[in-house]
Structure 1
Amino acid sequence: MPSPLYEFATWEPLLRVLRADKAHDLATPGDVAGHVGLYGWSLPLTRRTPPPGRAAQVEDSQDEYDAVARIHSALAEAGIDDIAFTATLSASGPAVLRLLTPSPAAEPGVGDAHPGALVLVEGAVPEPWRRLPDPVPDAVPAPTVDLLLLERTLRERIPGAVAATEEEIAAAEAGLGVALPDELKVLYRVTRARWQDWEDDEEGAERESDAVGCELFPLEGLYVADAASRHTLWQFAAMDAVVTPPDAEVQGLVGSPGWIVFGDNGGGDRLAVDLTPGPRGHTGQIILIGHEEHTGAALIADSLTDLVLNGPRGEPRRRRGDGPPVVAHVNITGITGVEAAAHPGLEVLSLGVWDGEPFSLAPVVGLPRLRTLSAYPGTLADPLEITRLTGLEYLALAPEEWRVLLDAGAVPGSLLAAGIVVHGDRHPLPIVDLANEILALRHRPPITRTVLEGDLGPLA
């Protein structure tokens, strides 16, 4: 039995909404494109302006929400998170819908119907996600660690808390695959932090959060914030780098097997005990892992004792290090040339909007750590110079530059992933065809196209 996702009737309400919005442009059939996902959608609709003094309401776009809800149900049933589409609509009624079912080798695009990064090697992740902590053999706990004071303070602040048993602590350690540091054990021997233990005592639950300075996770909710826990799309992750200056207290990692998350600051940022500190840090220090950043963490307390007694430090800051940047942005407002960006530690080169002559890549040929190149359309003097960059893992180019490489059989064999840089209003189908051509080089599954035809009736 065919999935409802691939039935014209499922999409008909949305096509009607799109056609009504574009009515003034449909003297001849016209194309629209967008995508619908379980967690959001992007559609080429003109948003209605709410009356003065009132914010926009769901009711203002009820037809859109109802139409998308039908597709959400079909996506869930088909086990697909997101699907892009194009449609040719006409005022007279006939409509052609093209569904672009994602490939497991193509990440979703951001905000449009074009595909995101193409993963050319199954399971490949960007270099920062492969980076493990550097050993710091001289790291020791901070002088502020005081297990007796920590326990006494917690018991005074949260009377009546239900403690975790030694068996529960052992089970948590087995699940994590790492022994809990002593301060965390003290914390959970005072409270196991289950909201059910407080029943209807909201003040008790509040006291628990106030006592520690964060929204405390239950013992069974502890987890290791390794790199895999901080998933980021290739197109963003490949543009980042891990940097740990010699005087850093926290290593600039994506994640670490020694970052044990135990709480949240109420805004989505996670608090963790750090067992793999930076060169100037302490074992067991408390760090804040930001939810809006891809790498690194900020030191907020020397120890859990310090956090409980003194609260988190003021605005946490992260050291980025001195010297030339390992991620270089060459554009009209940044670094003004490829030669100025070149140095042995360069990992990522981004060529952005530029109003001068296109760039030669000669200055960065032979750089030992260069792994990412992203080039805005028209910024490369000779795309075939890319073949001289033998260590590239990620390459993002405009369709025209990809065409040069493909026609010359010169797509670098070192690539783990690729991106197609699309600017302006470009039809998705040729971009999908190009993506499939790149995927085919590595025998990766293509983005599939399903064509559905129907009749919406004459536009009223």
Structure 2
Amino acid sequence: MMTSSRQRAPILYVLDEDFVPPDRGDEQNGPESAVPAGDPDEAVRLFHHYRRLMARILGYEEELPGPAGEEDLTAAEEELGVALPPDLRALYAIADGDGDLINPLFDRHPWLSLAEVGDEDDEWLDITREWQHEPWRKLVFDARPSNTVRRSPLRPGWIRFAHDTGGNWLAVDMDPGPDGRPGQVIKVGIDHVEGPKYIADSVTTFLSRLVNALERGDYSHDDENLWIEAALPNPLDEHARYGDSRPSRQGARQAGPRVQEVRVANAEDCAFLAATPEVRSLALSSKGSPDLTSLGGYPVEYLELDMEAADLTAPARNRQLRSLSVTCVRPVELAPLRAMPHLWALDIAAAPVADIATVTELTELRYLEVTRDQWRDLSELVDLPSLAVIGVHPDRPERDWPVSTAWVTTYDEPPSSTL
């Protein structure tokens, strides 16, 4: 009997609709200094000076909305569940957002009124977490400077106070990372799902940069519009990647030590990673069996292996590893994975597995990707982990880069015997 194309498609079985990938930001410590870096008096002075400079350049002064009252500020903070940093709070006591200004005050980002703060539409985040988009293969990387911002796509302590009209926001971070400061300014949103972007240690400093740019003459304008070149951090410097057909010492050095995502073809070993010590997402392919001995010494959280034979002994020594994808020709042994305390996602659909029963011992596993035959073998075992999502391929999949699967999603449990 012929099998329909839909039946032959790989199927994602979502058992737990409420499960979302673990948030690495939740695992980070808070800052050593809980004192905001901003200065409300200085922020107010800079704000007025900034407005005068803009009016002088444009030849006219735009009118701002009236101030937010103390009761409005207190009510907004209660609604948000977190206090505004003193410098931003002082600015709201001058004006309740931009209103209808032609030239938004925060570097072409309209300033939200208190009524709009906390009322954002976050469908963009829900979409990125949909399982057919394979969020388990994607990481939130560390911002620069390192450890200033928690590695989350969005947090309740990030108060978004201005936006770019395109799904991104400036936010004051009241829940910073270990080396950050409360009230630091970051950028989050649809273009920053790989990690928030650090802007400044405070709204005060952000305003100071805008003022300094105007005083230096780093701007352009026409009759009504002003564009400021404030020398803000370049997003291209944030989450750099390194990929090459054959790694070399020179290529690795050029990639730079801050690279967090690396893909290398024809790998012979992992020695080149010495030049990229902060690598967190790593894809290695090889026609042979490269030496992975040094892999355990790097903070890799997502590992993708595509090779003739894969020995997981060295990767399993990395206690940071969260997600693993293995493609190989020779049978692979999963036994070393028992020592991995945080492994929650495993893809073995493109690998023959010598000890499939080991999956029952991976107690933290929540996502599993297998073939129909592998799932049939597993379903006969007892004490499987509390899986939230199971991806089942009708046959061994062919892997391309970047890995992407045309999933059919169903909210049900996969059958144990026939698929």
Into which bin does the TM-score normalised by the smaller protein fall? 0.5 to 0.7
Letter in structure 2 aligned against 1:178: V
SS at match of 1:420: strand
Is it true that 1:315 corresponds to 2:223 in the alignment?
A: no
Residue 186 (structure 1) aligns with: 90
TM-superposed CA distance for 1:258, in Å, is 1.7
TM-superposed CA distance for 1:271, in Å, is 1.4
Residue 372 (structure 1) aligns with: 345
Residue 124 (structure 1) aligns with: 19
Residue deviations 1:129-150 (CA, integer Å, cap 9, x gap): 7926522242433367722323
**TM-score, normalised by the number of residues in structure 2:** 0.63
Is it true that 1:409 corresponds to 2:381 in the alignment?
A: yes
SS at match of 2:205: helix
Q: Answer whether contact 2:163 2:169 (CA < 8 A) is retained.
A: yes
> Whole-Å Cα distance in 1 between the matches of residues 233 and 164 of structure 2?
13
> Whole-Å Cα distance in 1 between the matches of residues 12 and 75 of structure 2?
40
Is it true that 1:233 corresponds to 2:126 in the alignment?
A: no
Q: Answer whether contact 2:68 2:94 (CA < 8 A) is retained.
A: no
Q: Provide the identity percentage.
A: 26
Q: Answer whether contact 2:173 2:182 (CA < 8 A) is retained.
A: yes
Q: Answer whether contact 1:154 1:190 (CA < 8 A) is retained.
A: no
Is it true that 1:342 corresponds to 2:316 in the alignment?
A: yes
> Whole-Å Cα distance in 2 between the matches of residues 265 and 388 of structure 1?
47
TM-superposed CA distance for 1:373, in Å, is 0.8
Label 1:211 to 1:271 Cα distance change in 2 as closer, same or farther (>3 A). closer
Letter in structure 2 aligned against 1:237: P
Superposed counterparts of 1:400-439, under 5 Å = 400-406=373-379, 408-410=380-382, 412-421=384-393, 423=397, 436-438=412-414
What runs of 5+ residues in structure 2 fail to find an aligned partner?
55-60, 210-229, 240-257, 261-277, 280-297, 399-407
> Whole-Å Cα distance in 2 between the matches of residues 307 and 244 of structure 1?
21
Letter in structure 1 aligned against 2:75: A
TM-superposed CA distance for 1:154, in Å, is 5.1
TM-superposed CA distance for 1:348, in Å, is 2.5
Residue deviations 1:344-403 (CA, integer Å, cap 9, x gap): 42333332443x313111222222222211223334334222122222122122222112
Q: Answer whether contact 1:125 1:234 (CA < 8 A) is retained.
A: no
Residue 175 (structure 1) aligns with: 79
Label 1:313 to 1:438 Cα distance change in 2 as closer, same or farther (>3 A). same
Letter in structure 2 aligned against 1:138: S
TM-superposed CA distance for 1:325, in Å, is 0.4
Residue 327 (structure 1) aligns with: 302
> Whole-Å Cα distance in 2 between the matches of residues 252 and 210 of structure 1?
28
Is it true that 1:135 corresponds to 2:39 in the alignment?
A: no
Letter in structure 2 aligned against 1:263: A
Label 1:268 to 1:312 Cα distance change in 2 as closer, same or farther (>3 A). farther
Label 1:412 to 1:346 Cα distance change in 2 as closer, same or farther (>3 A). farther
**TM-score, normalised by the number of residues in structure 1:** 0.58
> Whole-Å Cα distance in 1 between the matches of residues 316 and 3 of structure 2?
47
Q: Answer whether contact 2:173 2:183 (CA < 8 A) is retained.
A: yes
Which of 26, 35, 45 is the equivalent residue of 1:149?
45
TM-superposed CA distance for 1:268, in Å, is 2.6
Letter in structure 2 aligned against 1:385: T
Q: Answer whether contact 2:186 2:197 (CA < 8 A) is retained.
A: yes
> Whole-Å Cα distance in 2 between the matches of residues 266 and 229 of structure 1?
13
Question: Rg bigger for which structure?
Answer: 1
Q: Answer whether contact 2:47 2:207 (CA < 8 A) is retained.
A: no
TM-superposed CA distance for 1:153, in Å, is 3.3
Residue 303 (structure 1) aligns with: 202
Q: Answer whether contact 2:321 2:342 (CA < 8 A) is retained.
A: yes
TM-superposed CA distance for 1:123, in Å, is 2.5
SS at match of 1:190: coil
Residue deviations 1:400-445 (CA, integer Å, cap 9, x gap): 2112111x13462322332334648xxxxxx889x7443899xxxx
Is it true that 1:261 corresponds to 2:233 in the alignment?
A: no
TM-superposed CA distance for 1:326, in Å, is 1.9
Superposed counterparts of 1:35-50, under 5 Å = none
> Whole-Å Cα distance in 1 between the matches of residues 106 and 120 of structure 2?
23
What runs of 5+ residues in structure 1 fail to find an aligned partner?
1-28, 34-85, 87-111, 199-204, 425-430, 442-460
Q: Answer whether contact 1:260 1:273 (CA < 8 A) is retained.
A: yes
> Whole-Å Cα distance in 1 between the matches of residues 384 and 122 of structure 2?
27
TM-superposed CA distance for 1:262, in Å, is 1.4
Letter in structure 2 aligned against 1:284: G
User: Superposition RMSD on alpha carbons, in Å?
Assistant: 3.9
Residue deviations 1:247-291 (CA, integer Å, cap 9, x gap): 522121233232111122344322111112222222211111141
Q: Answer whether contact 1:261 1:270 (CA < 8 A) is retained.
A: yes
> Whole-Å Cα distance in 2 between the matches of residues 339 and 119 of structure 1?
31
Q: Answer whether contact 1:129 1:254 (CA < 8 A) is retained.
A: no
Give the aligned length.
316
Label 1:214 to 1:440 Cα distance change in 2 as closer, same or farther (>3 A). farther
Superposed counterparts of 1:8-27, under 5 Å = none
Residue deviations 1:300-340 (CA, integer Å, cap 9, x gap): 1222122233236231325653623022111249x964234
TM-superposed CA distance for 1:219, in Å, is 2.1
SS at match of 1:271: strand
Letter in structure 1 aligned against 2:68: T
